[in-house]
Chain A
Amino acid sequence: MPKNDTFDQVATILQGYADKAIFRGYNKGKPSNGRVVHRLLWHREQVFELVMDTRRKTLHFPALLPKVPVKSEMYRAFQAFLREIASKERPTHRQIDPKKAKITCANRRGNVSLTLTVRDGDYEYAVRKLIALVHEIFRIFLLPYFDWECEVYDLDPDHP
């Protein structure tokens, strides 16, 4: 598939999520050198950048969770959460097929990034799985970390 079609395909899917109000805002980026940065207004009204890199075959959130120290309980729990996502005990429809995509995370100075590597060129599968995973991180993983959210996003706890 030509690269531009792949970019368009992913952009169309992301626009579809914006149309379903999963994102409250979406800014389609312009591809350049096999790379595009989409901006998503998402959890707690924060803007998240999603970087699509067709040369590296990745979809990447460079700053998914800020201010999470490497040695914190929260980061350990996040890693465990991702391991559980990859577990075969998880229902099939919720699994990410390792032949099609691989999820990794990294923590650089407390800034947690999340990367999905596309293994078979199926970007539609990849972007849908990644958005579902991040949505699950926001809706489920973060439930016990309300105090953290209030602090890092500067939220009023009565109106997060």
Chain B
Amino acid sequence: MSETKNNSNGTSRRNFLAVPVAAGVAAASVAAKASAAMSPAALMAEVGATSIQIPKRITESLSEAPKVGSFEGRGMTGAEVFAKLCKEEELAAMFCCPGNYTVINAIAAAGIPTYGGRCEGAMCAMADGFSRVTGEVTATSGTEGPGFTRMIMNVASAHAARTPLLVLASNMQMAWDDREYFIQTGYQQPTTTGMKKYGKRLIDPPRVHEYGAYAFRALKSGVPGVVHLDFPGEVARARYTESTKLTDFYTKERYRTESRAFPSPKDVEKCADMLTKAERPVIVAGHGVFHRKAWDVLQQMVERNEIAVVSSGPMRGHFPDDHRLSAAMSYKALMSADVVLFIGQYSMPSPTEYGFSPDVKSIRVHPEQEDLGRNWPLDLGIVSDERAFLEALDNKLGAKKRDAWVSEIAAQRAGFEKEIADIYAKGLTTSNETGLLHPAVIAKETHDFLYKGSIDKKQTVLGWGGWTIGNQTGRWLRAYRPGQVVNCAFQYGAIGPDMAMTIGAGAAVQRGVGPQKPYQGAPVFVITSDAGMAHSLFELDTASKYKIPIVALVYNNNSWGMWPNAAGSPRAEHMYLFQENLRYDQMAEGLGARGEYVLTPQQLRVALKRSYDIAAKQGISTLINCQAKKEFTVGVRLGPEPSVGAIMH
């Protein structure tokens, strides 16, 4: 590829490469010359190769003034036209690896927060994580073939979570379609079939703005989802000095609407009647309640009418776990419910997956008619935007006391707390006997540190995943405010994106976006497995580079959590096992973060405090390697659904 023309900053590629050479950096093309001029020791000292550091150019680059494209002068490239649209649509952030250069450079130049990392898959998960704790639209990008295909697991994960994620990739040229010319040929749109809300390969350069509008209309209307655009070079690099060359070049106020579906008054009345007559009503508040920022009206309504609430979805906290009406820890009480109202439940379970009575009456509110009745037969289906419905219902429902129901929820919550305390007690005994950390102990210690100590219990965003550790952790995590807990494995069940997803959430906290505003700059936590960590360990470099403080607890049981499936297959067992006692903590140190290696609850307690303090005060991340053994997997107890530890819906 030839790219010798000046870019929008007037710097040619050759000049850009020449600057570091002049400064003495060992660019490959001039290495011999540079080493001839300097001794190896002097060269090492000059480049600072002996210590891990954030190069000055990263800091400088991040503080460069934004420059949104315009038709003036040399005009805008197709990429700049699209970047300008993204800026106007308030795209919250983009997470990428280099590739698709014209587009990512234009998006960075436009002033949109951008992050570059080590693997496209992990960067895609970061974009997803940022969105899961804010509800905002984010983007991810990579190069056409390999980079894009590395994203796939996390694109699918975002699709399952209905994340409004813009997947951008490409830099190939249509002129070379089908010819296997040079490298990286790939066909993108078929690859994302079944994992996107909308997708398009842009093939007509003048329509770049038009299709950008298609993308944001899909991202910001109705049920959120993944949108995938690929940008061939002819589209990204086309240049425009006037708007008449672009089709449908008009503003977002005209190409999409903020108008929402309002519920029929008859439906609201019928729903209010069913809830009023109910003795033990429950609302399952899914991620639509979070996306539509309807948590305030939800809480106001249920408090007046004493309706229990259990939240569901890939993020938690849109109904606080410590609220007296929260049934998130009262899963046994849900069997008593006589009416259940699902709202914003995008991933719809079957009645045999949720713990409601076979006789419960069911109502579901959803923005799209065609999804009502899917998987769960309904007594009443209502088409409506979630917030609009809750406001309408709030106006219709009167006050009601349900003391017996509230008492039953409280009693079952106490039962749940005893249940997990008993599991913890057994885990603690196991830890004491083995000198290794049982997953229940890791979960409980983290719980106590984040919610029972000196830290504001509403503060810390935490992501969680993994099989054995996830099963134990989910039931100990609490969400006291919107966007506090990220359920990384939600629905798709991916092993691996946890830490990257939580770094993305950390970027949102660092910037104080949406519900993260009151906790801007606070460290984030993730609890994941050794199997999962392998997928995103290198992103500790990314977290360190952008000073996003994360404390990552790794449950190190020397194996895939599914190792019991080797039972009866002795020749297969090796495939399930890793080397034992791997030092993920030392790997973290090699990536510019801190490492802690812990084997006992006491060591873990100290490590949590030390790691948090350093993260909070110095912005430095830590990986806490919690040594366990594979046998702790035995007796996995699935979390009930819906509840605090739910991962399916």
Interface string of B269-291 (1 = CB under 8 A from A): 00000000001100000000000
Asked if B638 is at the interface (CB within 8 A of a chain A CB), the reply is yes
B637 CB contact (under 8 Å) in A20, A94, A146: A146
Find residues 21-56 in chain A having any chain B CB closer than 8 Å to their own CB: 21-22, 24, 42-43
CB-based nearest A residue for B404:
A91
Interface string of A126-141 (1 = CB under 8 A from B): 0010011001101110
Q: How many A-B residue pairs have CB under 8 A?
A: 65
Total interface residues in chain A, CB < 8 Å = 25
Cβ of B408 and Cβ of A22 under 8 Å apart?
no
Find residues 614-634 in chain B having any chain A CB closer than 8 Å to their own CB: 634
Cβ of A20 and Cβ of B640 under 8 Å apart?
no
Cβ of A21 and Cβ of B376 under 8 Å apart?
yes
Cβ of B565 and Cβ of A132 under 8 Å apart?
no
A93 CB contact (under 8 Å) in B336, B562, B565, B634: B336
Knowing A91-B408, A140-B332 touch, does A20 contact B352 (C-beta < 8 A)? no
A140 CB contact (under 8 Å) in B408, B636, B640: B640
A147 CB contact (under 8 Å) in B279, B359, B408, B635: B635
Asked if B377 is at the interface (CB within 8 A of a chain A CB), the reply is yes
Find residues 110-153 in chain A having any chain B CB closer than 8 Å to their own CB: 128, 131-132, 135-136, 138-140, 143-144, 146-147
Contacts of B355 in A (CB 8 A): 139-140
A20 CB contact (under 8 Å) in B280, B332, B351, B404: B351
Asked if A158 is at the interface (CB within 8 A of a chain B CB), the reply is yes
Q: In the complex, what distance in Å separates the CA atom of A144 from the CA atom of B634?
A: 11
Cβ of B351 and Cβ of A22 under 8 Å apart?
yes
- Max count, chain A CB within 10 A of own CB: residue among B336, B359, B377: B359
Q: In the complex, what distance in Å separates the CA atom of A158 from the CA atom of B648?
A: 11
Asked if A2 is at the interface (CB within 8 A of a chain B CB), the reply is no
Cβ of B564 and Cβ of A147 under 8 Å apart?
yes
Q: In the complex, what distance in Å separates the CA atom of A147 from the CA atom of B633?
A: 10
Cβ of A146 and Cβ of B331 under 8 Å apart?
no
Contacts of B376 in A (CB 8 A): 21
B634 CB contact (under 8 Å) in A17, A19, A91, A147: A147
Cβ of A19 and Cβ of B377 under 8 Å apart?
yes
CB-based nearest B residue for A149:
B638
Cβ of B493 and Cβ of A132 under 8 Å apart?
no
Cβ of A131 and Cβ of B358 under 8 Å apart?
yes
Cβ of A136 and Cβ of B335 under 8 Å apart?
yes
* B465 → chain A closest CB, angstroms: 14
Interface string of B250-272 (1 = CB under 8 A from A): 00000000000000000000000
* A157 → chain B closest CB, angstroms: 6
Q: In the complex, what distance in Å separates the CA atom of A147 from the CA atom of B635?
A: 7
Chain B interface size range: 20 to 34
* B233 → chain A closest CB, angstroms: 40
Knowing A19-B377, A140-B335 touch, does A135 contact B637 (C-beta < 8 A)? no
B640 CB contact (under 8 Å) in A42, A143, A158: A143
Cβ of A21 and Cβ of B408 under 8 Å apart?
no
* A91 → chain B closest CB, angstroms: 5
Knowing A144-B635, A147-B634 touch, does A21 contact B359 (C-beta < 8 A)? no
Contacts of A135 in B (CB 8 A): 335, 357-358
Contacts of A19 in B (CB 8 A): 377
Cβ of B351 and Cβ of A140 under 8 Å apart?
no
Cβ of A20 and Cβ of B634 under 8 Å apart?
no
- Max count, chain A CB within 10 A of own CB: residue among B352, B375, B408, B634: B352
Q: In the complex, what distance in Å separates the CA atom of A147 from the CA atom of B638?
A: 10
Q: In the complex, what distance in Å separates the CA atom of A28 from the CA atom of B635?
A: 37
Cβ of A147 and Cβ of B636 under 8 Å apart?
yes
* B36 → chain A closest CB, angstroms: 58
Asked if B350 is at the interface (CB within 8 A of a chain A CB), the reply is yes
- Max count, chain A CB within 10 A of own CB: residue among B279, B351, B358: B358
Knowing A17-B358, A136-B335 touch, does A146 contact B636 (C-beta < 8 A)? yes
Cβ of A91 and Cβ of B336 under 8 Å apart?
yes
Interface string of A90-110 (1 = CB under 8 A from B): 010110000000000000000
Cβ of A132 and Cβ of B352 under 8 Å apart?
no
Knowing A146-B638, A147-B564, A157-B562 touch, does A132 contact B350 (C-beta < 8 A)? no
Cβ of B336 and Cβ of A20 under 8 Å apart?
no
Contacts of A17 in B (CB 8 A): 358
Contacts of A91 in B (CB 8 A): 336, 404, 408
Find residues 582-639 in chain B having any chain A CB closer than 8 Å to their own CB: 634-639
* B227 → chain A closest CB, angstroms: 28
Q: In the complex, what distance in Å separates the CA atom of A105 from the CA atom of B359?
A: 23
Contacts of B280 in A (CB 8 A): 93
Contacts of B634 in A (CB 8 A): 147
Knowing A140-B335, A157-B562 touch, does A21 contact B352 (C-beta < 8 A)? yes
* A83 → chain B closest CB, angstroms: 15
CB-based nearest A residue for B412:
A91
Find residues 381-395 in chain B having any chain A CB closer than 8 Å to their own CB: none
* B392 → chain A closest CB, angstroms: 27
Knowing A131-B358, A140-B335 touch, does A43 contact B352 (C-beta < 8 A)? yes
Cβ of A94 and Cβ of B377 under 8 Å apart?
no
Find residues 550-566 in chain B having any chain A CB closer than 8 Å to their own CB: 562, 564-565
Contacts of A20 in B (CB 8 A): 351, 358, 362, 377
Contacts of B565 in A (CB 8 A): 157
Q: In the complex, what distance in Å separates the CA atom of A24 from the CA atom of B376?
A: 11
| 24 CB-based A-B contacts, threshold 8 Å | A17-B358, A19-B377, A20-B362, A21-B375, A21-B376, A22-B352, A24-B352, A42-B352, A43-B352, A91-B408, A93-B279, A93-B336, A128-B358, A128-B359, A135-B357, A135-B358, A136-B335, A139-B355, A140-B331, A140-B332, A143-B638, A144-B635, A147-B634, A147-B636
The 8 A-B pairs of least Cβ separation, nearest first, read: A139-B355, A144-B637, A22-B358, A21-B351, A146-B638, A20-B377, A135-B358, A21-B377
- Residues on A lying within 8 angstroms of B by beta carbon are 17, 19-22, 24, 42-43, 91, 93-94, 128, 131-132, 135-136, 138-140, 143-144, 146-147, 157-158
- Residues on B lying within 8 angstroms of A by beta carbon are 279-280, 331-332, 335-336, 350-352, 354-355, 357-359, 362, 375-377, 404, 408, 493, 562, 564-565, 634-640
Q: A139-B335, A147-B564 are in contact. List 12 more A-B contacts (CB 8 A).
A: A21-B377, A91-B336, A91-B408, A128-B359, A132-B335, A132-B357, A132-B358, A138-B352, A140-B640, A143-B637, A143-B638, A143-B639
